[in-house]
Amino acid sequence: MQTSELDLSFTPVTNPAPAKLSLNEIEQYNRLGYVRPIDAYSTAEVARLRAYFDKLMADMGPDGAFGINCYQARLAGIWDIATDDRILDYVQDIVGPNIICWATAVLSKPAGSEQYVPWHQDASFWGLQPARTVTVWLAIDDADNKNSAMQWIPGTHNRGHLPIEDTGADSVFHMQTAGADAMGKPVYDELKAGQFSLHADMLVHGSGPNLSDRRRCGLTLRYCPPEVRIVDDEWSAGVEAIICRGEDPYGNWRHHPRPDNDDITQTTSPRAYGNN
């Protein structure tokens, strides 16, 4: 199915009694496409998470920084984060009581990295419809404007699929949203380690090179309600979903239980889904 045939429209969240987000935050998500920061993990917990992801990246070798994609059903540690109530309680305020996690990615930019992530809309790359995924960006390291925190262009999530163009040699993607620099002033997703943000799947976002002396590492988790379905059979081969909360009354997703394995050298990723 071509991108032009997908439903990439934004449907505002209607939730008059959110459990965790405030009504103002729901309004901001609808208007701007994001909410941040949200506290999740303590300093001690962050230290354990950082050690865990450091080991995963070391075990992966040269591909560790941008290669730990979609292991949520293959590594127990990532499954546990994806199903953590401290995250799901906020996600539920956006997507409702039935929650699917269909992808995750560890995104680590080393100090001095010249690679950049161009402006893009996530859902335009995915074989899903309708576009109802919310991304959690969980900071493993502090992320700010100096070490290449992700940036959003507020309000671009409700403009549908925007035109794309080729990118430069240092880009991690070969395509980017055309004319993004004229779409408004970007906002940095500045987070302390252990905090996370929420953003809509059609919000234009990206990040620059990390020219600082500090690494910037985070974990993205992609959540959607079960009425979202896969419409690209070839693309679906790489999706290993978790029914994190509630149920899938539509039968659109196959549930994967918590894996016994937590050794990345004993498994592989089914597929890679983008960078931020």
Q: How many CA atoms lie within 13 A of 81 on its CB side?
A: 34
Q: What is the DSSP letter of 45?
A: H
Q: What confidence tens digit (pLDDT) does each residue in 116-161 have?
A: 899 999 998 898 999 999 999 999 999 999 999 999 999 999 999 9
Q: How far is CA 47 from CA 27, 52, 76, 194, 246, in A?
A: 33, 9, 18, 9, 31
Name the amino acid, one letter, at 192: K
Predicted pLDDT at 237: 75
- The pTM for the full model equals 0.94
Predicted pLDDT at 164: 85
Structure tokens at 79: 């499954």
In the chain, the percentage of residues whose pLDDT exceeds 70 is 95
Q: Confidence band (pLDDT; 50, 70, 90) for 236?
A: confident
Predicted pLDDT at 62: 80
Percentage helix, strand, coil for the chain under 3-state DSSP, each rounded to 5:
25, 25, 50
- Integer Cα distance of 264 and 21 in angstroms: 34
Sequence spans of domains, the chain: 34-266
Q: What confidence tens digit (pLDDT) does each residue in 160-211 have?
A: 999 988 887 777 777 888 999 999 999 999 999 999 999 999 999 999 999 9
Beta strands in the chain (DSSP E): 34-39, 99-109, 117-120, 128-129, 134-139, 151-152, 164-166, 175-177, 187-188, 195-200, 205-207, 216-224, 229-230, 242-245
**CATH architecture type of domain 34-266:** Sandwich (2.60)
Phi, psi values for residue 205, rounded to 5°:
-155, 170
What contacts 187, CB < 8 A, 6 or more positions away?
Answer: 34, 151, 152, 153, 154
Q: What confidence tens digit (pLDDT) does each residue in 240-270 have?
A: 999 999 999 999 998 899 999 999 999 998 8
- Integer Cα distance of 244 and 257 in angstroms: 10
**Residue carrying the six token digits 């991690």:** 172
Cis upstream peptide for 37 (omega within 30°): yes
Q: How many CA atoms lie within 13 A of 146 on its CB side?
A: 6
Q: Are 205 and 118 in contact (CB under 8 A)?
A: no
CA quadruple 53, 145, 174, 5: dihedral sign: positive
CA dihedral 25, 30, 33, 38 (to 10 degrees): 20
